[in-house]
Chain A
Amino acid sequence: MGGTDGLAGRVAVEGLVKRFGPVNAVDHVSLEVSSGEFLALLGPSGSGKTTILMSIAGFEFPDAGRILIGQEEVTWTPPNRRNLGMVFQRYTLFPHMSVLENIAFPLKMRGVGRAEREERARAALATVRLGEMGGRRPAQLSGGQQQRVAIARAIVYQPRVLLMDEPLSALDKNLREEMQIEIKHLQQRIGITVIFVTHDQTEALTMADRIAVLDHGRLQQLGTPRDLYEAPQTAFVAGFIGETNFCEGQLAQAAASGESVTVALTGGGSLPAIAAEALPAGGRIKVALRPERLRVLPATAEGTTARVAEAIYAGNATTLMLEGAFGQPLRARIPAGAGLHEPRPGETVRLAWQAADARAFRA
């Protein structure tokens, strides 16, 4: 199975707008997914991620904009003629068919003969490691097995693009993590383009080559997991991906993106940071500082100090609740096993960080 011929598995969304009554569910979103790429659409509920997926699938028709699959515009093409694979959030195996009949269904719809249907369905079932389950009814399978059969059914006709709408959200945590890796490996092996909707940032970071973060129908940032985590471009992305401390303040002068600034904090004091986006003069500012990027050192006479209000041990790390720095509560995280200083509650510590790790956003 291949998806190597350049543009066949490309998906482009151009200026997509979709309104539901007065609400802009999708507000001028453009993005492009290249052949064989794994893209996650990540956002809270109501962010428009599912609406974008449904527009690509053909179940929603946009108010403006275009959808292209390969070289072809499909904005108004019905779903059954788009030749896409899709795995739904809820289990959608047809209960009146066996597992094998379910997988053979799309081949039957394409007029493939009985013998070839069965052979290809068996091969697809083996791909998702359920070779011996073909004769069962969907109700006799566990949730994870059902979703694997749903994946087999969605790839058996070798579509160029596979759409996934939170397919793992009904599974428990351990199985979900196992399936994430399994889906990722399967995608790499058959070279299919995957567009994966999720509200779970860990899932997106684990699986995706690139992540599109959405909020209120707008595309906030599109980049690799590393880009999003290390260099968020909006306060929303900084808060949504990973954990972060936000310190509020103001800026005297306007700054361009990437410029070093010194933010006057509302709680008193000032904080040097890097402008993550263009910042207006006099505007309200939020500085984001990740808990694990704060270095906690024994107190000295100089520098920023804080008092440890609480220390929460969680096995792989200890989270400190700090008070007194920047006039507001902060969290810091100390990884276990690195031999770092682990202060006790009540102790006063000194905080240090790299200037590039403090990112300033418009509030």
Chain B
Amino acid sequence: MSARRPSRFRLGGRRYSPAASLALAAPFLLLVAIIFILPLATLLHESLFVPAPTTEHYARAFAEPVYLRVMLRTLRIAALVTALALLLAWPMAWVMSRSRGLGLALLAAAVLLPLWTSVLVRTYAWMVLLQRNGVVNQLLQQLGLTEAPIRLLYTEGAVVLAMAHVLLPFMVLPIYSALKGIPEDYPRAAQMLGASPWATFREVIWPLALPGVTSGCLMVFLLALGFFVTPALIGGPQQMMIATLVSQQVREMLDWPFAGALVGILLVFVLALTLLFKRAVRLDRFVGSA
């Protein structure tokens, strides 16, 4: 019953030599190197060394209010998306964790089917719903809640809602797996010991689900920071987020060094957050359940 420590560095199992293991992983590693690391490195290199070694591009990103606003909006939208996704995901994950058999299969399908559908399709679906003569506006008018169509598309609210929907599975799944790991006897024991349903949630369920909640929030927040399709289509130019800005710099302004600086800023931010929360998650595992 000793506490398990994370194993030390090891490549492959006992059957394969490190060289063989490396060979097995090689195709994947090569692909990542060519389509991810190489372009990223080139872009970052441009941001720091073109035309001469400089920090000018980074300074510009923080100096000009337009760009600063885009970055702050990106942070705000990502935070709101995370909060909304958490609110929507928790009850779903709870019901799933207490379901079995066909009930669980149906709920899991409801979570996973959207994940297997193109983001583009799901985003266009939101556009159909939210546009000027879309389903939502027609419904509002028929119910007599509004006289004329109101603007739903190209608002921050629309972006948050659509992104939360698209990213929801990434919140539901880790929370579901954390909640599933809590035996039904724990809440029973807590109640028996005098805990009200609210106290049971606060003192037992929530702390035990926290690693899942942290993973889900981290995942959704990070994905939301760099999200392109949904904010570009639903938000339009007024609700521009950093990924759209990068695309604009590359495609319209042909300003690769500045685009590289924006990517660099986003990357540093993402890495910092990951490390910070990775630690929090680990720490929780250590003091938490076996």
The residues of A with any CB-CB pair to B shorter than 8 Å are 57-59, 78-80, 83-86, 88, 90, 92, 94-96, 105-106, 108-110, 137, 139-142, 153-154, 157
Known: A90-B183, A106-B194, A157-B194. A142 touches B289 (CB 8 A): no
Query: CA of A302 to CA of B1 in the docked complex: distance in angstroms?
Result: 64
Q: Quick check: B204 and A92 within 8 Å, CB to CB?
A: no
Among B2, B191, B288, contact of A80 (Cβ-Cβ < 8 Å): B191
Task: List chain A residues, Cβ under 8 A from B195.
Answer: 80, 105, 109
Please tell me if B192 contacts chain A, counting CB pairs below 8 Å: yes
Q: Quick check: B3 and A140 within 8 Å, CB to CB?
A: yes
* B263 CB, min distance to chain A CBs, angstroms: 39
Q: Quick check: B193 and A153 within 8 Å, CB to CB?
A: yes
Please tell me if B275 contacts chain A, counting CB pairs below 8 Å: no
Q: Quick check: A139 and B193 within 8 Å, CB to CB?
A: no
Q: Quick check: B207 and A79 within 8 Å, CB to CB?
A: no
Q: Quick check: A84 and B288 within 8 Å, CB to CB?
A: no
Query: CA of A137 to CA of B286 in the docked complex: distance in angstroms?
Result: 11
Q: Quick check: B192 and A96 within 8 Å, CB to CB?
A: no
Q: Taking CB as reference atom, which chain B residue is nearest A93?
A: B189
Q: Quick check: B290 and A92 within 8 Å, CB to CB?
A: no
- Indicate with 1 or 0, residue by residue over B113-155, a CB within 8 angstroms of chain A CB atoms: 0000000000000000000000000000000000000000000
Query: CA of A139 to CA of B185 in the docked complex: distance in angstroms?
Result: 16
Q: Quick check: A105 and B203 within 8 Å, CB to CB?
A: yes
Query: CA of A90 to CA of B287 in the docked complex: distance in angstroms?
Result: 21
Task: List chain B residues, Cβ under 8 A from A137.
Answer: 3, 287
Q: Is the interface of B mostly helix, strand, loop or mixed?
A: helix
Q: Taking CB as reference atom, which chain A residue is nearest B193?
A: A106
Query: CA of A139 to CA of B188 in the docked complex: distance in angstroms?
Result: 19
Q: Quick check: A92 and B186 within 8 Å, CB to CB?
A: yes
Query: CA of A153 to CA of B190 in the docked complex: distance in angstroms?
Result: 11
Task: List chain B residues, Cβ under 8 A from A141.
Answer: 1
* A44 CB, min distance to chain B CBs, angstroms: 22
Q: Taking CB as reference atom, which chain A residue is nearest B287?
A: A96
Query: CA of A243 to CA of B290 in the docked complex: distance in angstroms?
Result: 42
Q: Quick check: B189 and A92 within 8 Å, CB to CB?
A: yes
Query: CA of A153 to CA of B3 in the docked complex: distance in angstroms?
Result: 23
Task: List chain A residues, Cβ under 8 A from B183.
Answer: 90, 92
Among A58, A96, A153, contact of B289 (Cβ-Cβ < 8 Å): A96
Query: CA of A86 to CA of B143 in the docked complex: distance in angstroms?
Result: 54
Task: List chain B residues, Cβ under 8 A from A80.
Answer: 191-196
Task: List chain A residues, Cβ under 8 A from B194.
Answer: 80, 83, 106, 109-110, 157
Known: A92-B186, A94-B186, A139-B290. A57 touches B192 (CB 8 A): yes
Known: A96-B287, A139-B290. A84 touches B192 (CB 8 A): yes
Interface members, chain B 154-199 (any A CB < 8 Å): 183, 185-186, 188-196, 199
Interface bin, chain B: 20 to 34
Query: CA of A360 to CA of B77 in the docked complex: distance in angstroms?
Result: 81
Query: CA of A106 to CA of B191 in the docked complex: distance in angstroms?
Result: 9
Query: CA of A183 to CA of B167 in the docked complex: distance in angstroms?
Result: 52
Q: Taking CB as reference atom, which chain A residue is nearest B196?
A: A80
Please tell me if B85 contacts chain A, counting CB pairs below 8 Å: no
Q: Quick check: B1 and A140 within 8 Å, CB to CB?
A: yes
Q: Taking CB as reference atom, which chain A residue is nearest B210?
A: A96
| Residue picked from B185, B189, B190, B204, most chain A C-beta under 10 Å | B189
| Residue picked from A80, A108, A139, most chain B C-beta under 10 Å | A80
Q: Quick check: B1 and A139 within 8 Å, CB to CB?
A: yes
Task: List chain A residues, Cβ under 8 A from B288.
Answer: 95-96
Query: CA of A341 to CA of B259 in the docked complex: distance in angstroms?
Result: 101
Known A-B contacts: A95-B288, A96-B207, A140-B3. Give 4 more (CB < 8 A): A57-B192, A95-B208, A105-B195, A154-B193
Q: Taking CB as reference atom, which chain A residue is nearest B290?
A: A139
Interface members, chain B 181-229 (any A CB < 8 Å): 183, 185-186, 188-196, 199, 203-204, 207-208
Q: Quick check: B189 and A95 within 8 Å, CB to CB?
A: no
Q: Taking CB as reference atom, which chain A residue is nearest B183?
A: A90
Task: List chain A residues, Cβ under 8 A from B2.
Answer: 140
* A97 CB, min distance to chain B CBs, angstroms: 9
Q: Quick check: A88 and B1 within 8 Å, CB to CB?
A: no
Query: CA of A152 to CA of B286 in the docked complex: distance in angstroms?
Result: 25
Task: List chain A residues, Cβ under 8 A from B207.
Answer: 96
Show 13 residue pairs from A and B whose CB-CB distance is below 8 angstroms, ordered by the A residue: A58-B191, A79-B192, A80-B196, A84-B192, A86-B192, A90-B185, A94-B189, A96-B288, A105-B203, A108-B203, A109-B199, A110-B194, A141-B1
Query: CA of A108 to CA of B196 in the docked complex: distance in angstroms?
Result: 12
Q: Quick check: B193 and A88 within 8 Å, CB to CB?
A: no
Q: Quick check: A78 and B191 within 8 Å, CB to CB?
A: yes
Query: CA of A183 to CA of B143 in the docked complex: distance in angstroms?
Result: 67
* A331 CB, min distance to chain B CBs, angstroms: 40
- Indicate with 1 or 0, residue by residue over B1-34, a CB within 8 angstroms of chain A CB atoms: 1110000000000000000000000000000000
